[in-house]
Amino acid sequence: MLLDKPEITWSNEEAEKLFDELSLLFDLTDRCENIRLKSEMLMDITSVFTELAHAKRGNRLEWGIIFLIVIEIVLLLIQMFLQ
């Protein structure tokens, strides 16, 4: 919608010319494309960091489960030898 012409350009030819000239002067299409590409790159980087955080948390949970299983085995062995 940023590159859409305002309503006044449909009824006023001078406003349309002014909009076109200013659009060319400020390179609106190129700037919008650059902003779009940069925002897509930021979204990709954000998703990578999110996946890394989830993987790190998953690894921590897996190690916690392994630790609890080892403790359970040790307690079982202690219980077997004490009886």
Note whether residue 58 is domain-resident. Answer: yes
Find the domain containing 72 and state its range: 8-82
Note whether residue 1 is domain-resident. Answer: no
Note whether residue 2 is domain-resident. Answer: no
Q: What is the rounded distance in angstroms from the CA atom of residue 71 to the CA atom of residue 45?
A: 39
* The model's pTM: 0.62
Domain count, the chain: 1
Question: pLDDT tens-digit profile of 13-33?
Answer: 999 999 999 999 999 889 999
Note whether residue 60 is domain-resident. Answer: yes
Note whether residue 47 is domain-resident. Answer: yes
Note whether residue 40 is domain-resident. Answer: yes
Burial of 80 (0-12, 13-18, 19+ CB in 10 A): exposed
**In Å, how far from its chain's centre is CA 45?**
6
Question: pLDDT tens-digit profile of 42-64?
Answer: 999 999 999 999 999 999 999 99
Q: What is the rounded distance in angstroms from the CA atom of residue 39 to the CA atom of residue 64?
A: 37
Note whether residue 31 is domain-resident. Answer: yes
